[in-house]
């Protein structure tokens, strides 16, 4: 192609880039509001500062710790926070690289998030029973905590709720998912993810938010056929698009490498509830069923028909009822032990 013929194409490319920059700047997320009541800072051993919030009944001997999912923040548990606030003590926090928390200048793994959770519990809840509630990556963090800090589970953790999460099962008959997990576990994606992490600051300047394409993608991936309403869809899209692209690169495929199947039998005897949307496309219900089988009779499986991955936001009645049953079991076992 001759130089004169390339000029119109170059001009079009420059116009497209200029438009992308303009749109990206116009759709940047709004600054987070002032921290809510009960907010405090948890300073980790490496100096990273996490935003945490303490609420509920301060005199309760049971504390529910809510652990949010990837690209979300404490906001995702508002429905559960408000529901449980009159019954137990509550703690929730933002993972590093999320929400109001600080960033770590290194690549992370789910094991790092589990160590962070251990420090959050130690600093916010030094005594009493602890019930851990994790959604998606938050549930992975809870299971990794059981692997890395088993003493905490033997002495303090009295109950566990795993919402729309997995332990690393391979599912027969799902070759795409299995191929992605295999590639992640063999670090075949590391090169591309490293390049993405390096380019993240530049790509952030071109990143559009609140577009119709991403709205449709959010609906297709995060929701089922019977749990979509415009307000929750918009809130979920804003949550997912809030963190910078560097957050995606920071985990370097750790979620695909996640494998804590060896931990599940250790939860036998601990009150556990596993909640899943019947149409969860990210972590399908088969994963939840496998976890319940591996844990044993102490685990309850709750499948919410028509719901997707963000079932705690779209179906709070069913999820809150499952948490109520879990806390009732924890209370009965505590009274029996006493």
User: pLDDT tens, 200-222?
Assistant: 778 888 888 888 999 999 999 99
Select from 67, 90, 75, 78 the least CA-distant residue to 327.
Answer: 90
Of the pLDDT bands very low, low, confident and very high (cuts 50, 70, 90), residue 45 is very high
Q: Which domain holds residue 209?
A: 39-337
Of the pLDDT bands very low, low, confident and very high (cuts 50, 70, 90), residue 4 is low
Higher pLDDT, 73 or 204: 73
Global pTM?
0.89
Instruction: Classify residue 29: in a domain, yes or no.
Output: no
Instruction: Classify residue 9: in a domain, yes or no.
Output: no
Higher pLDDT, 2 or 321: 321
Q: 13: exposed, middle or buried (C-beta count within 10 Å: 0-12, 13-18, 19+)?
A: exposed
pLDDT > 70? residue 36: yes
Instruction: Classify residue 1: in a domain, yes or no.
Output: no
Instruction: Classify residue 92: in a domain, yes or no.
Output: yes
Which is it for the CA torsion 113, 71, 267, 320, positive or negative? Answer: positive
Give dist(CA 35, CA 224) in Å, integer.
32
Give dist(CA 28, CA 209) in Å, integer.
7
**CA separation, residue 11 to residues 6, 14, 16 (Å):** 9, 5, 9
**CA separation, residue 94 to residues 59, 152, 218, 306 (Å):** 24, 21, 21, 29
Higher pLDDT, 27 or 312: 312
Give dist(CA 33, CA 43) in Å, integer.
21
pLDDT > 90? residue 94: yes
Q: How many domains are contained in the chain?
A: 1
pLDDT > 70? residue 26: no
**Inter-residue contact 163 to 312 (CB < 8 Å):** yes
285-303 tens-digit pLDDT: 999 999 999 999 999 999 9
Select from 214, 282, 205, 213 the least CA-distant residue to 244.
Answer: 205
pLDDT value at residue 82? 97
CATH code of residue 233: 3.40.50.1820
Instruction: Classify residue 11: in a domain, yes or no.
Output: no
pLDDT > 70? residue 40: yes
Compute φ and ψ for 24, nearest 5 degrees. Answer: -65, -40
Instruction: Classify residue 19: in a domain, yes or no.
Output: no
Give dist(CA 43, CA 51) in Å, integer.
9
Instruction: Classify residue 250: in a domain, yes or no.
Output: yes
Of the pLDDT bands very low, low, confident and very high (cuts 50, 70, 90), residue 224 is very high
Select from 177, 175, 119 the least CA-distant residue to 145.
Answer: 119
Rg (CA), the chain: 21
Instruction: Classify residue 181: in a domain, yes or no.
Output: yes
pLDDT value at residue 173? 58
pLDDT > 80? residue 107: no
pLDDT value at residue 74? 96
């Amino acid at each position: 192609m001759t130089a004169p013929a390339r000029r119109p194409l170059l001009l079009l490319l420059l116009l497209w880039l200029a438009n992308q920059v303009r749109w990206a700047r116009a759709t940047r997320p709004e600054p987070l509001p002032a921290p809510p009541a009960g907010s405090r800072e948890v300073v980790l051993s490496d100096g990273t500062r996490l935003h945490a919030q303490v609420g509920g009944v301060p005199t309760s001997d049971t504390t529910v710790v809510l652990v949010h999912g990837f690209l979300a923040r404490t906001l995702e548990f508002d429905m559960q926070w408000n529901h449980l606030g009159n019954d137990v003590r509550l703690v929730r926090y933002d993972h590093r690289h999320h929400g109001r928390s600080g960033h770590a200048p290194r690549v992370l793994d789910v094991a790092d998030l589990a160590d962070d959770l251990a420090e959050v519990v130690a600093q916010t809840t030094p005594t009493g029973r602890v019930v851990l509630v994790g959604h998606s990556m938050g549930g992975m963090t809870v299971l990794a905590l059981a692997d890395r800090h088993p003493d905490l589970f033997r002495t303090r953790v009295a109950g566990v709720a795993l919402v729309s999460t997995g332990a690393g099962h391979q599912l027969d008959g799902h070759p795409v998912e299995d191929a992605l997990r295999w590639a992640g576990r063999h670090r075949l994606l590391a090169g591309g993810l490293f390049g993405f992490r390096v380019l993240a600051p530049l790509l952030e300047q071109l990143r559009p938010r609140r577009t119709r394409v991403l709205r449709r993608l959010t609906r297709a991936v995060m929701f089922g056929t019977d749990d979509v309403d415009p307000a929750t869809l918009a809130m979920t899209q804003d949550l997912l698009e809030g963190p910078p692209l560097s957050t995606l690169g920071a985990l370097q495929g750790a979620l695909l490498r996640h494998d804590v199947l060896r931990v599940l039998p250790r939860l036998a005897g601990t009150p556990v509830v596993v909640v899943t949307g019947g149409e969860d496309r990210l972590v399908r219900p088969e994963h939840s069923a496998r976890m319940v089988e591996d844990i044993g009779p102490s685990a309850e499986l709750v499948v919410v028909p028509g719901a997707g991955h963000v079932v705690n936001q779209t179906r709070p009645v069913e999820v809150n009822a499952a948490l109520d049953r879990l806390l009732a079991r924890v209370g009965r076992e505590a009274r029996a032990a006493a």
